[in-house]
Copies of this chain bind each other. A is one copy, B any other.
Amino acid sequence: MSTTDAAGGDAYDALLDRYRRVSNVRHADGILMWDQQTKMPAGGTPARAEQRSTLSSLEHDLLTDGELGRLLEAVDEGGLDDAERAAVAEIRRQHERADRVPDELVADIARIESSAHETWVEAKADDDFDALAPTLERIVDRYRERADHLDSGKHPFEAIYGDSEPFLPISTVEEIFEDLKATLVPLVEEIRAAGELPTPFDGTYDERSQLALSEDALDRVGYDWTRGRLDTAAHPFTFGNQFDCRVTTRFDESDPLAGLTSTVHEFGHATYNLGLPRERYGTPLGESGSHGVHESQSRFFENHVGRSKPFWEGFVDTANDRLGSGASAEAAYAAVNRVKPDNRIRVEADELTYHLHILVRFETEKALLGGDIEVSEVPAMWNDKMEEYLGVRPETDSEGCLQDIHWTAGYLAAFQNYTVGSVLAAQLDAAMREELDDVDALIRDGEFGPVHEWLSENVHRHGRRYPTDELVAEATGEPLSADAFREYATAKFESLYGL
């Protein structure tokens, strides 16, 4: 190895060491977040807010640190292999992105958001959009300013979009939505006309039985309990890394399928993190890809496993035991796939209407961040689009544009990632079925080993090595599109509803 190589290599190691500190601070903050949402007594909020604010500011300091910038210049990429170069590129991307936004703006946004959540909770409870409007205006202003710093040549929505999906051209997302709109709007209309499917789970189910059932489901799909746990949270989420990745869920007494599918969804997120290479912990190659890719793993397990017929053929007896029900596999499969065209709440939506809820948000947010509409015009645009795509109009803003936590929690221009995840899940499912024998039998028999291996081989083990479009093309042989989802969903729901 030449001297230059050695020096480049040293700089690479030093760079990774610096980045590991950033990563460890993020993981620590994640544990504080997990704790806050599952274990922390209510009184702990003020101190927790200060702790997380300090960690967030330290993360920013470490990422924009001059020494990290110097190491990025010093590293000799010629002496590195492809994977190492990808790691450097990702660290550079994060460093430059953080560096572009002035510290005062970062602090200002943090200050606004620290009280915005509370304002949103109250406005939603009171169905009072005007109470949220001034806060939302400040948030939109600051994010437009942030977008300008990030990339003044881009539409502000696209610049912010890069926060959660740095690796996929936004034009791909726009094409996906055009395609879904054309397919789903008429399909949902046909389903509305066909009438509601029955459910065999129409009783009341206590939380203890539902928790046991969720544990059974996690056992069946292969959750590694030595590296995970299951808790309840008001807003289910998954947090962790390749050593410790935890699932949360929530239960509805009148709908045991809601909690169960939520658990299986979160398991998909967990299995991604748990499948990241252990020896790469704390570096980009040991971190998961974009939000959309992450969501593809949860949607794969939620929809292509948990909402599949073979899964229910293998699992319905367990469900009946836990719930005291007497459902057939057919009936359970139909019940877990009921389409609810009149539902106005995104998190309660089915597999089809879900994307129309997202579309409403995608278009409203683009108009808002682009300056095409004022904050005061949000409720009207939201309701008009609900009517246009779903044929229902929210009667209140609480069940309309006030329903989501995202805008006051710092997740702007992020909703579309859920749809990206769903269409990618369908595309991965199709590709997996070309390579593996009889995936249905594996799912029915609870033999998930080959499924995990395929996902690990094609997605998990890569960490953040490839941009989303390259990862998708490599795993599926096709660019990302809504094709596989459209075929899967049309076939499934036409059959279920006898269309």
Contacts and interface: CB of A to CB of B under 8 A. Distances in A.
A56 to B, nearest CB: 11
A224 B44 CA distance: 12
A54 B25 contact: yes
A244 B40 contact: yes
Nearest to A44: B244
A264 to B, nearest CB: 19
Interface stretch (A3-11, A28-36, A353-361, A395-403): A28-36
For this chain, the copies found in one complex come to 2
Interface in A273-290: 278, 281-282
Interface string A212-242: 0000000000001111110000000000111
Nearest to A42: B226
B41 A225 contact: yes
Nearest to A229: B41
A48 interface: yes
A244 B28 contact: no
Nearest to A46: B243
Contacts of A32: 28, 31
Q: Is the interface of A mostly helix, strand, loop or mixed?
A: helix
A27 interface: yes
A404 B186 CA distance: 71
A21 interface: yes
Given A46-B243, A50-B281, A54-B21, A227 B41 contact: yes
Contact of A282 (B31, B50, B228, B246): B50
Contacts of A282: 47, 50
B51 A28 contact: yes
A153 interface: no
A329 interface: no
A152 interface: no
A83 B35 CA distance: 34
A25 B54 CA distance: 7
10 contacts: A21-B54, A21-B58, A25-B58, A28-B51, A31-B31, A31-B51, A41-B228, A44-B240, A44-B244, A50-B281
Interface of A: 20-21, 24-25, 27-29, 31-32, 35, 39-48, 50-51, 53-55, 57-58, 224-229, 240-244, 246, 278, 281-282
